[in-house]
Structure 1
Amino acid sequence: MNQTIDQAADAASEQAKGKGERTRDRILEIAENSVLNKGFGATSIEELICEAGITKSGFFYHFKDKNELARALLLRHIEQDEKILDQVFLRGQELVDDPLQQFLIGLKILAELVEDLPQGHPGCLIAVYCYQERLFDNEVRLLNRQAVLGWRTRFRAILDRIVDVYPPNEPVDLDELADMVSTVVEGGIVMSKALGRPHMLANQIMLLRSFVKLLFTRQPV
């Protein structure tokens, strides 16, 4: 009898936990859409509560304040970015052994991925946080900086493997070149939105691909 009661209690606890996680995910999804559309400062807790269909105490159960919400949003964004980049650039490694071709294939897949977004790329939380950094505490600002440096570390490792096989045709700082991936992606998002051209981001990534190819491919004399 006691075992049955314990099992029922455990099941109820798991069900409540699952509902809580779904509610938290729902809040984060609504908040991300709002932040990307109008900024963090213009996103109010009241509107999130209203759209999520929860009480104010329900919101504060998951997030004690807006800075905690900001951290959770950023961590979620970083995790999603890492999964996408892993899938994209590991695909190149699965197809060929040559490090340059692996990178070129990855950039092509990334361009195709963003081109398939019918309304264009929705935006980047990292960029939004940079524009509005005064709204956040030091922990959020540090996390945002680490996210940017994470891209540098990822692409610098790829470039190091390329340089071992293909000396560049021109002197180049590999950290700067690694940062160029972030620069092109973030800049492409901004330009595509400013000009109303959803495919501009994909075009910019393909131009980066052409630059990398020219930089490392030995030209005939």
Structure 2
Amino acid sequence: MRRTKQEAEQTRHRLLDAAERVFLERGVSQATLEAIAREAGLTRGALYWHFRDKAELYSAMLERVRLPLERLREDFRAAPDSDPVRVIEQLCLAALERVTQDPQLRRVYTIVLHRCERDLGHPDWRDAELEGRRQGVQVFLDCFQAAARAGRIRPGVTPELAVAALESYFTGLVYVWLLEPQRLALATEAPDLIRVFLRGFLIDDPERPAAP
């Protein structure tokens, strides 16, 4: 009997769930396709039906939890008093909120930041991560460019520099929080952490009331 599209999709997600568990436990380089198939209760043949190799499986795992930053940006911009600085802040807070509230995203970030050896001899591993970063960078670059046009970026700071600094800061926050969650109360301190950082690049709107 031929599998239905729905059954095939369920099997695909079952394999991705298993890959998350195995990557988390063993690390990406030590995880085998055989172990992932076994964890999913499937054969290697079933795994190869959906994924060419481990790199493609890893890429699909990342794609499944990618934050829809473009849609969020447009939602924030649709507000009547949309302000480019406020949009940047809201995007940062939305991303951190999801990290703290979504167990699956936390697992994937832990794999990427703490369980994935970077020199794996295959460009697909690097490209899988870079693709998601490029999308995020472009969204934030558009926002910082809008802030620059509005005269809201401090002198000497370019949108490109601001994005590079923000990406490094965000990655560092998540890295430290996943490594030592007791050291950083990210769920409650995120607003202050983001505002303090952005204050070094962006100029507050003097007509906007200070955030509580």
Fold match, TM over 0.5?
yes
| Paired residue type of 2:41 | G
Q: Which moved more, 1:172-181 or 1:120-129?
A: 120-129
Q: 1:218 to 1:63 in 2, by over 3 A?
A: closer
TM-aligned CA distance change 1:191 to 1:20, over 3 Å: same
Distance 1:212 1:117 in 2: 25
**Percent identical across equivalent pairs?**
20
Q: Quick one: structure 1 residues 175 and 33, their matched pair in 2 at CA, closer, same or farther if it must change by over 3 Å?
A: farther
Is 1:211 aligned with 2:197? yes
What amino acid sits opposite 2:153 in the alignment? P
What stretches of structure 1 of length at least 5 have no aligned partner? 1-11
Would you say 1:158 and 2:143 are equivalent positions?
Answer: yes
Aligned with residue 60 of structure 2, among 48, 72, 80: 72
Structure 1 stretches of 4+ with a deviation exceeding 6 A read none
Question: Counterpart of 1:179 in 2: which secondary structure?
Answer: helix
Q: Which residue is 1:92 aligned to? A: 76
CA contact (8 A) 1:91 1:106 kept: no
Matches of 2:119 and 2:46, distance apart in 1: 27
Displacement, 1:198?
Answer: 7.9
- Please give the alpha-carbon distance, in whole angstroms, between the structure 2 residues aligned to 1:37 and 1:89: 35
CA distance in 2, matches of 1:156, 1:72: 25
Give the superposition deviation at 1:164: 0.8
The structure-2 alpha-carbon separation of the partners of 1:180 and 1:20, relative to structure 1 and needing over 3 Å to count, comes to same
In structure 1, give the amino acid aligned to 2:198: V
Contact 2:85/2:152 (CA < 8 Å) preserved in 1?
Answer: no
Report the equivalent of 2:48. Answer: 60
Determine if contact 1:120/1:192 at 8 Å carries over to the other structure.
no
Distance 1:188 1:31 in 2: 25
Aligned-partner residue type, residue 91 of structure 2: G
Which residue does 1:9 correspond to in 2? Answer: none
Q: How many residue pairs were aligned?
A: 203
The structure where helix makes up a greater share of residues is: 1
**Cα distance in 2, alignment partners of residues 195 and 152 from structure 1:** 26
Contact 2:84–2:147 under 8 Å retained in 1: yes
Return the index of the structure with the highest Cα Rg: 1
* Match of residue 45, structure 1, among 33, 45, 54: 33
Report the residue type matching 1:217 in the other structure. I
Task: Please say which of residues 29-38 and 16-25 is displaced more in the overlay.
Answer: 29-38
Q: Which runs of 5+ in 2 are unaligned?
A: 207-212
Map of 2:209 onto structure 1: none
- TM-score where L is the length of structure 2: 0.76
TM-score normalised over the length of structure 1: 0.73
Which residue of 169, 174, 191 corresponds with 2:159?
A: 174
